[in-house]
Amino acid sequence: MLIGVLGAIGLPGRASAQASGTITASPNPCVIARRASTCTSQINWSTEGATQARVFVLGPHKSGPRESEFGNSLTCQSERCRAPWIKKKSSYVFTLYDYSSGRRGRALASVTVTAKDGR
């Protein structure tokens, strides 16, 4: 009987359901103003059923595409989630991952951000 009760309430620190999430970018593509070399896109994400999440961005680098951590929260809808370094003729892939196990789990969602000339 005790096993049944423990199984029903779950264990702390674990997601009780399979995690899911969404990630969006706005504007996308972002518009590079005249005489500027970059533009800004707001990256918003949210999760459900996860206890930890991280967002990584894969983008251009001097030695080829490189992945780096962009954020580490279950949700982000604020100015701290801005990407003010989007360059024309480049693609940036933002991927939301489930980290509920303490390490990278399944990709929950992704969005590719690009830029266009505003002239």
Average pLDDT of the segment spanning 29-58 = 96
Q: Give 11's contacts (C-beta < 8 A, 6+ positions apart).
A: none
Quote the number of domains for the chain.
1
Residue 57 is predicted with a pLDDT of 97
Domain with 57 in it: what CATH number? 2.60.40.10
Contact at 8 Å (CB) between 75 and 46?
A: yes
Beta strands 30-32 and 115-117, pairing class: parallel
Residue 5 is predicted with a pLDDT of 37
- % of the chain exceeding 70 in pLDDT: 85
DSSP for 19-51, written as a single string: -EEEEEEESSSEEEPTT-SEEEEEEEEEEES-S
CA-based radius of gyration for the chain: 18
Strand (E) or helix (H) holding 110: strand 107-113
Strand (E) or helix (H) holding 69: strand 66-71
Residue 113 has pLDDT above 50, yes or no: yes
Residue 76 is predicted with a pLDDT of 95
Average pLDDT of the segment spanning 50-54 = 97
Average pLDDT of the segment spanning 32-60 = 96
Token digits of residue 65: 């595409």
- Can you give the residue range of the structural domain that contains 73? 2-117
Residue 16 has pLDDT above 80, yes or no: no
Residue written as token pair 């949700």: 75
Residue 62 has pLDDT above 50, yes or no: yes
Name beta bridge partners: 79: none
Residue 75 is predicted with a pLDDT of 96
Q: Which of 20-24, 34-38, 54-58, 106-110 has the lowest mean pLDDT?
A: 34-38
The pTM (predicted TM-score) of the whole model is 0.82
